[in-house]
Structure 1
Amino acid sequence: MRRILLVSCLALLCASQTIAQEIENKLFGNNLEKLNEDFPVTDTLVFDFPNEGKLLLLFNHTEYELSDLEEKFSLILKKTTKFPEFQTLVYRLSEEYPQTQTEAVILDLEREYLPYMDQLELSAVIGMDFTGGEFTPVVGGRMMFNFRKFDIGASFTNKVFFPERIEGNIKVNSNWFANLEYRWDKSDPKSNTANMFGIGILVNESKSQLFTGTTAQAFYKRKLNKNMSIQVGVIATENFKTFYPTVGIRFW
């Protein structure tokens, strides 16, 4: 089903010049020239597929062991079943540049050829913001449509404000925002939760003690680890006459 061949240096150097324009993760300008000088292509690793497609890896034998490459790529190629028919995909391997590193090539193969099922995601929004000089807990819910390379959806979030106590009583002022959100990740195709951009509008039925008039927000969220993200943004209020920067954290 899958055949692995090792081709030696001189034949490959000629062949690589012929297919240089077809390399999926090609370098440009001085970077390519420097790589060819420091780590010229000496070997290839070829994977043949039942649909007459091929994956061709170009590398220098001083950087990689053939058996190690065969093991790493065989694992992912068992799962990536969407390779095009009658087409050869060519990747250059070298640890000298981010786009040619082994892990980057594997991620690119997963991004493009790993089977994926679109799905609907429902999740909670929990966090804390510093808004206009006030700490405001944030709670709410989110619905996202997950696609292969990006997610799109909406959230309904409450920026909770606790004003000063009156006669010892605590009042809670809710500030509900309806948000449209777009989420993506350029580095890891298996998880598009690392970057998010959103815009929203205040939809309170009761009077807000933080904002007046037409109020809208825009924000950017970056995932720090599995359980926490940082979010920065700006809120325009008083019919877009006053602007408050916001910064906060989100959990999950």
Structure 2
Amino acid sequence: MKRLILLTGIAMLFCQRSLAQEIENKPFGNYLEKLNEAYPVTDTLVFDFPNDGKLLLLFNNTEYGLSFLEEKFTPVLKETTKFPEFKTLSYRLSEEYPQTKVDAVILDLERNYLPYVDQLELGAVIGMDYTGGDFTPEIGGRAMFNFRKFDIGGSFTNKIFFPERVDGNVKVNSNWFANLEYRWDKSDPKSNSANMFGIGILVNEDKSQLFSGTTMQAFYKRGVNKNVSIQVGIIATENFKTFYPTVGIRFW
């Protein structure tokens, strides 16, 4: 969506009118009043959109210059094609509070108004855990429904256990879990891969040599970078009488 007009307003009358607007990133409690006392609004910056929507930035000229704000916001607003029609969104700018910082406001605009298409994601699960004193490789598949601010889906994973060799033979014991997973990332408007929480239940058809009775797991995964994540969790087995902590690594 092309931006047609970029306006700047400094008049006190316009500032007073701006302050009456509902602030999208209002600080908690009475912090907005404290902010206005310490750094009163002296300037406004208005971006007009072809759909009659407006973005109104309120700030103090001792903290920001107009050219700085234009340079920071213009590239982002060129991509935010989902800006609401016939509506003015007002943001208070100040480096005093986390939600009023320039970078935080830009992130909020990106997360809410960048174009996004819901989609189905299919992927593999590959990693290694340390489970109750044993190293257990894990493989499987995952299906996630990707939404703008979160992903939800499930996976089918095999926690592989290698029991002690008998007569020199290596045996493999599979432990299949069906998992429900929820994934989110508040810091990246284009991905929800940073954090994942999941719960699962053992669904083996063959007897497990690692677990017995009703067995469930809960885990949290945190991304280190785009290719590697650290996962921690706990497994309850023997009908929830025994608990094994787990820690491991996941790829992709």
> Any conservation in 1 of the 2:155–2:179 contact (CA below 8 Å)?
yes
Q: Which amino acid aligns with 1:2?
A: L
Q: Which amino acid aligns with 1:185?
A: D
How many Å separate the matches in 2 of 1:134 and 1:140?
19
Instruction: Structure 1: give runs of 5+ residues left out of the alignment.
Output: none
Instruction: Structure 2: give runs of 5+ residues left out of the alignment.
Output: none
Q: Which amino acid aligns with 1:126?
A: I
Deviates more, 1:6-15 or 1:99-108: 6-15
How many Å separate the matches in 2 of 1:68 and 1:17?
22
Q: Which amino acid aligns with 2:164?
A: E
Asked if 1:187 is matched to 2:148, the reply is: no
Asked if 1:4 is matched to 2:13, the reply is: no
TM-score normalised by length of structure 2: 0.93
Distance 1:51 1:139, change over 3 A: same
How many Å separate the matches in 1 of 2:198 and 2:29?
37
Shift of 1:92: 0.8
Cα deviations by residue, 1:183-231 (Å, 9 ceiling, x for unpaired): 1122322211111111111111222111011211111112122222121
Q: Where in structure 2 are the equivalents of 1:102-121 lying within 5 Å?
A: 102-121=102-121
Shift of 1:9: 5.8
> Any conservation in 2 of the 1:9–1:41 contact (CA below 8 Å)?
no
Residue of structure 1 in register with 2:223 after alignment: 223
Shift of 1:168: 2.2
Cα deviations by residue, 1:98-138 (Å, 9 ceiling, x for unpaired): 11111111111111111111111111111111111212111
The 3-state SS of whatever aligns with 2:31 is: helix
Shift of 1:12: 4.7
Shift of 1:155: 0.7
> Any conservation in 2 of the 1:12–1:42 contact (CA below 8 Å)?
no
Deviates more, 1:6-15 or 1:45-54: 6-15
Cα deviations by residue, 1:125-156 (Å, 9 ceiling, x for unpaired): 11111111212111111111111111111111
Residue of structure 2 in register with 1:67 after alignment: 67
Q: Which amino acid aligns with 2:27?
A: L
CA-atom RMSD in angstroms: 1.6
How many Å separate the matches in 2 of 1:85 and 1:97?
29
Deviates more, 1:82-91 or 1:158-167: 158-167
> Any conservation in 2 of the 1:24–1:89 contact (CA below 8 Å)?
yes
Deviates more, 1:159-168 or 1:113-122: 159-168
Q: Where in structure 2 are the equivalents of 1:2-151 lying within 5 Å?
A: 2-8=4-10, 10-19=12-21, 22-151=22-151
Taking every aligned residue pair, what percent have the same amino acid on both sides? 78
Q: Which amino acid aligns with 2:220?
A: Y
How many Å separate the matches in 1 of 2:38 and 2:158?
56
How many Å separate the matches in 1 of 2:175 and 2:53?
56
Shift of 1:167: 2.3
Q: Which amino acid aligns with 2:48?
A: D
Q: Which amino acid aligns with 1:85?
A: E
Asked if 1:204 is matched to 2:195, the reply is: no
How many Å separate the matches in 2 of 1:66 and 1:229?
41
Consecutive aligned runs of 4 or more in structure 1 exceeding 6 Å deviation:
none
The 3-state SS of whatever aligns with 1:248 is: strand
Count residues in correspondence. 250
Q: Which amino acid aligns with 1:217?
A: Q
Distance 1:107 1:50, change over 3 A: same
Shift of 1:157: 0.8
